[in-house]
Structure 1
Amino acid sequence: MYEEIEKKLGGKIQGVKVLKSGWSGEIISINVSNCTNKYIIKTYKSSTEGLENIKREWMGLNLLYNANYPVPRPILNSYENNSEPYLVMEEIDGDNLWTCYTKSSNEDKGILIDKFVETFYKLHQLDVSIVEKKYLEDLTDSFIKKEINDIGELIEKNNFYSFLEVISWLNNNMKIINKNTLSIIHRDYHPWNVIVDSSEKVYVIDLLWGIGDYRFDLAWTCTLMERSGYNDFSDKLLKKYEELKGKSIEDFEYFKVLATLRWLVNVNISLHTGENLNETRKEEFKAFILPLIQNGLKLIENSTHISITI
């Protein structure tokens, strides 16, 4: 991988530093001898879906960068080596927003939340036709149906039948959900996926992205923070988003259930199959994720009165 990158960038790689060895890959900082810029290599080498993940993130980076949305500049990618696909982007010199937030005064916390939410809101306001014009015609119901269908297929494939009652609840309540036009969504937006640079500008990373209802994206972020015990942050980001929107978020409880079910199915697949997990960190992942699963189940029960035992 390094030799290939050196050839493409025309310089020797120096100062290699692994910033994160995550559940499904690595994030590596490098210098290149012929330039002053620093770069990030992102790999999905332990993921069975690594190739598709890299392709999708690369596409999202280019779309958003060209739309002047604050993401790192995409540099190059490799799809040829299916066992270790990777992409290279510019490195943003800064820290994740959560680290900055926890170290800040109350006044600065408010400023950071405002930037965090304003950047999120800006994503949802982008013209979806930059992806494909056909998405201009789609509405909320088409997104929900696809999401429920995708979740249902995963449930059947992995024998997670205890979740089927929640699928029925989502289907039964879908008809009363207000319809919106769709937006570009991040699908995993949270303060660890936002970098604050030295000039206090924010950049968005780790794009799973797709086209969907912005309320799903917002619900994903709020429920992620609530599962982790950061309810105050969730409440403040929702309040700020509603302020920017100029109205309350309709049907939000429904989207919180939908987002939580999608997350629960995803993490349970990883736990049961080991798919998308770094082999050396499976036990660490289990210890980290099991309390969060219980919090997710509790949210679904509080909203739907459906009790799930895993």
Structure 2
Amino acid sequence: MSLSVLSIEKNLNRYFENKFPERRENRISEITSLAKGWETELFSFKYKYIEEGDSIKKQLILRIYPASNVEKKTKWEFEVLTSLFKAGYPVPETHVLELDLEYFEYPFIIMDRISGKDMGDDFTKALQEGNLEKITNEILPIQTKLFVELHNLDWKILPIDFESDIEITPSYLLDRLIKNSRKRVEKFQLQNLNPIFQWLNEKKHTLKFERISILHNDYHPHNIIISEEDKAYVIDWPACFVGDFRQDLGWTLLLTGAYTSKEIRDMVLKFYEEILGAEVQDIEYFEILAATRRIMDMFIFLEQDSEIAGIRDETKQQIKETAFHLEYVATLVKDITGISIPRFKELIQSLLIE
């Protein structure tokens, strides 16, 4: 997907004029393409208009989902953001959900822009400088506090429609997740992952469950913005769902260990447990669950057409540039489960050679 500033301006003006005819003198300016995620295109812009005699100025984000059949996913993120905002959790206020493909060929949402800094940039800089004091005194306390607060929210604020005759428990939700993952295995012919699923199914019967939580499912410092008023906001919610909080924590620990070090991974867990006020049990199981998701994603993202995989074309290059982190994933799986996946090792080597 390639959009010029001129086309963004033209289509945003057309959109606001069509959808909000009561507004006069619409003006779009300062359109900027932001760092792109794996699945969406982001643009910031300023929007001025007059309504009921008042001149109104807003700084906004346009978030486009450039893939096929993503209307449901776009609507879900809008509903998640709206629900969390109403509950007082720190997310940007979201104003527009548009599923009509007339304007940008894909669905989009429009939300407030949080002017500030990406906490992930501070985290990366501190790592490069070996500044563990900044990580432990400034970054991790904010990151883990918001994480625990999310998991302590009432999950029923989200508009999820489960079948009425089913008792919704953490155990049921874990079974549901594994079954849905197995469907992906069949769809994309990833039967080489069957040994891991066998391990997950055997071990899940030993787990103890407590409660259902709202899960971000991609929680890391780059998804936290520190505003100019020094308030932290959490962004990027399309993967949000509900389940055992350890699913979310396991994913975060996996990414932290893979992109930084085991030492930093252990620090994140320690901070989480301190704020939670309890030791987290069986976390290695959920790290293997997370590793399974990562391995599946890599096969699908790299071996399928981008539109089918639901990612941007540029994402494949981004993955290749950080292929080193996949070695950590493979090693973790081998160390905990004893399972080695030759096809995944071959994929890693092919990425490292390119």
- The two structures have a TM-score, normalised by structure 1, of 0.92
Please point out which of 32, 56, 60 is paired with 1:39.
Answer: 60
How far apart in 2 are the matches of 1:43 and 1:235?
A: 36
Partner of 1:2: 12
How far apart in 1 are the matches of 2:123 and 2:111?
A: 25
**Post-superposition offset of 1:294:** 2.8
**Post-superposition offset of 1:245:** 1.6
**Post-superposition offset of 1:267:** 2.6
Q: How does 1:12-23 map onto structure 2 within 5 Å? A: 12-23=27-38
Partner of 1:186: 216
**Post-superposition offset of 1:309:** 1.4
Partner of 2:246: 215
How far apart in 1 are the matches of 2:258 and 2:169?
A: 29
Partner of 1:56: 76
Cα–Cα, structure 1 residues 283 and 118, in superposed 2: closer, same or farther, change >3 Å? closer
Contact 1:137 1:181 (8 Å CA) reproduced: no
**Post-superposition offset of 1:51:** 1.8
Q: Do residues 111 (structure 1) and 163 (structure 2) align?
A: no
How far apart in 2 are the matches of 1:56 and 1:296?
A: 29
How far apart in 2 are the matches of 1:128 and 1:282?
A: 31
Corresponding letter in the other structure for 1:153: K
**Post-superposition offset of 1:252:** 0.4
Comparing 261-270 with 216-225, greater Cα deviation is found at 261-270
State the structure with more CA Rg. 2
How far apart in 2 are the matches of 1:113 and 1:214?
A: 18
- Alpha carbon RMSD of aligned pairs, Å? 2.1
Corresponding letter in the other structure for 1:30: F
Partner of 1:205: 235
Please point out which of 131, 136, 151 is paired with 1:124.
Answer: 151
Cα–Cα, structure 1 residues 157 and 191, in superposed 2: closer, same or farther, change >3 Å? same
Q: Do residues 254 (structure 1) and 285 (structure 2) align?
A: yes
How far apart in 2 are the matches of 1:283 and 1:171?
A: 31
Contact 1:64 1:71 (8 Å CA) reproduced: yes
How far apart in 2 are the matches of 1:103 and 1:262?
A: 28
Q: How does 1:1-310 map onto structure 2 within 5 Å? A: 1-7=11-17, 8=19, 10=23, 11-34=26-49, 35-45=56-66, 47-81=67-101, 83-103=105-125, 106-109=132-135, 110-131=137-158, 138-207=168-237, 208-274=239-305, 275-279=309-313, 281=314, 283-310=316-343
How far apart in 2 are the matches of 1:288 and 1:133?
A: 37
Instruction: Report Cα offsets for 1:254-283 as digits up to 9, x if no partner.
Output: 01001110121123211111322323x255
Contact 1:138 1:181 (8 Å CA) reproduced: no
How far apart in 2 are the matches of 1:182 and 1:87?
A: 28
**Post-superposition offset of 1:66:** 0.3
How far apart in 2 are the matches of 1:238 and 1:68?
A: 25
**Post-superposition offset of 1:22:** 3.5
Cα–Cα, structure 1 residues 63 and 4, in superposed 2: closer, same or farther, change >3 Å? farther
SS of the counterpart of 1:41?
Answer: strand
Comparing 249-258 with 270-279, greater Cα deviation is found at 270-279
Contact 1:193 1:206 (8 Å CA) reproduced: yes
SS of the counterpart of 2:88?
Answer: coil
Consecutive unaligned residues in structure 2, runs of 5 or more: 1-10, 50-55, 344-354
How far apart in 2 are the matches of 1:96 and 1:159?
A: 38
Aligned length: 308
Comparing 190-199 with 75-84, greater Cα deviation is found at 75-84
How far apart in 2 are the matches of 1:59 and 1:134?
A: 13
- The two structures have a TM-score, normalised by structure 2, of 0.81
